[in-house]
Structure 1
Amino acid sequence: MSENRAHLTPLDFRNIYCVGRNYRLHAAELGNEVPTSPMIFTKPTHAVIEMTDGSLIVPGSQGSVHYEAELVFAVGRTYEARIDCGELLSSFTVGLDLTLRDVQERLKAKGQPWLAAKGFRNSATLGRWKDFQGMNAMEEQDFGLRINDKEVQRGNVRDMVFDLQTIIDFIGQNYGLAAGDLIYTGTPAGVGSLNEGDLLEVWWNEESLGRAQVKMG
């Protein structure tokens, strides 16, 4: 896998795995129980869009669209049992797992899958990729999201319910992992609704990794 995937298209990606309720405070703010094992869902590759100072078009007629800033990791090789995450992962960025919250609540009430709420086009944003330097380096810095230049989310991998090694082992053993797969690792507290014209900026160690302006489609 290339060290810098900033110019690749969604066609270069394979599976998109997402971890739900992986930060306790986020689970609490939505009134959800913290899972006892990684809670995995997927998004289609058509959901991927890069944050490159353009417009981010999201549905405007299906209720509230919530932002969820997350660390996203790119897999660089095929998963093998007991492989260390430092060997498996090639790069990381900060992205957004966008959610149609009203739709999700209706689906949850009926016990139905979340695809309509989580898998719509442009629901998986990606910032600029950075080389993965191991877990110690990740724990030294925070990540987050600013909206209209105001910080709304801040998190650190230390706060995850399931650490990165646990996540890759769970996904790798149950579903498989290979080069081109992406893992969204969950969002910290502070999620909320997007509005027309909001300027979004994801960051790592206070460094901007991507910006986009919300347009309700």
Structure 2
Amino acid sequence: MIDMTALSLSDIRNIYCVGRNYRLHATELGNEVPTSPMIFTKPTHAAIGMDVGKLGIPASEGSVHYEAELVFAIGRTYESGIACDELIGAFTVGIDLTLRDVQDVIKAKGHPWLAAKGFRNSAVLGRWLPFPGENGMEAHDFGLTMNGAEAQRGNVKDMVFGLQRIVDFVGTRYGLGAGDLIYTGTPAGVGSLSDGDSLDVWWNGESLGRSTVETY
């Protein structure tokens, strides 16, 4: 196992994201569950750590939705046949922010998702933890608490496509190397953010980062 827990924002190379990877989330948005991993990307400039305390989001682009997700940091170059336990060096809980009104428009037009998913501060990251292996991930839940109340809870076991399938899919088609991140999808319970909302991402009951929403 390769330790990537000291990964900084400047070390991030590519940010891959898996869409509709939890059945209940796909259902709540009226989307079909994909038959193979649905991958989109975010620019590295979208990444922000929750340690900064404030999370700036746009106030003029319509509804901004939170999507808490397990995020995995790749610790070495992908090779065919490599196990995800050898490839992944760290994990955290992050938030994939989405301009939902913008996304609805571009989806209807068949346009790429970049405008809705790739804006600055849209790839939120908690504190990195050592990767305990795929089996170790199944032992505990992750989630998001908003304004003191649980907003989302999930478990890697509930993913449509598991970690090994995801890294093989991305690694074979696009490549994976040290410093790449994979956001693996969100469980049900997504919703909109407002100025002043307090966010806390957690794993196994332990907070991995807190931020307060600040609109601009």
Task: Name the TM-score class by shorter chain.
Answer: over 0.9
Runs of 4+ in 1 over 3 A off after TM superposition: none
What is the CA distance between 1:53 and its match in structure 2? Answer: 5.4
Q: Which residue of 1 aligns with 2:147?
A: 148
What is the CA distance between 1:4 and its match in structure 2? Answer: 2.1
The C-alpha deviation readout for 1:32-88, integer Å capped at 9, x for no partner, is 000000000000000000001511000111100000000000000000001000000
Equivalent runs, 1:100-111 vs 2, <5 Å: 100-111=99-110
Partner of 1:166, secondary structure, is helix
Partner of 1:196, secondary structure, is coil
Q: Which residue of 2 aligns with 1:5?
A: 6
State how far apart, in whole Å, the 2-side matches of 1:74 and 1:183 are: 7
Q: Which residue of 1 aligns with 2:188?
A: 189
Which structure 2 residue ranges, 5 or more long, are not aligned? none
Q: Which residue of 2 aligns with 1:117?
A: 116
What is the CA distance between 1:124 and its match in structure 2? Answer: 0.3
1:5 maps to a residue whose letter is A
What is the CA distance between 1:2 and its match in structure 2? Answer: 5.1
Equivalent runs, 1:1-217 vs 2, <5 Å: 3-5=4-6, 8=8, 10-52=9-51, 54-217=53-216
- TM-score between the two structures when normalised by the length of structure 1: 0.97
| Structure 1 contact 93–209 (Cα < 8 Å) conserved | yes
| Structure 1 contact 198–213 (Cα < 8 Å) conserved | yes
With over 3 angstroms needed to count, the CA separation of the structure-2 counterparts of 1:14 and 1:3, relative to structure 1, is closer
Partner of 2:35, secondary structure, is coil
The C-alpha deviation readout for 1:76-126, integer Å capped at 9, x for no partner, is 000000100000000000000000000000000000000000000000000
State how far apart, in whole Å, the 1-side matches of 2:67 and 2:86 are: 27
| Structure 1 contact 53–213 (Cα < 8 Å) conserved | no
1:4 maps to a residue whose letter is T
State how far apart, in whole Å, the 2-side matches of 1:101 and 1:17 are: 19
Partner of 2:170, secondary structure, is helix
State how far apart, in whole Å, the 2-side matches of 1:54 and 1:74 are: 22
State how far apart, in whole Å, the 1-side matches of 2:52 and 2:212 are: 7
| Structure 2 contact 66–98 (Cα < 8 Å) conserved | yes
What is the CA distance between 1:185 and its match in structure 2? Answer: 0.1
Percent identity, aligned pairs only, is 70
| Structure 1 contact 53–210 (Cα < 8 Å) conserved | no
User: How many residues end up aligned between the 2 structures?
Assistant: 215
2:146 maps to a residue whose letter is I
CA root-mean-square deviation: 0.9
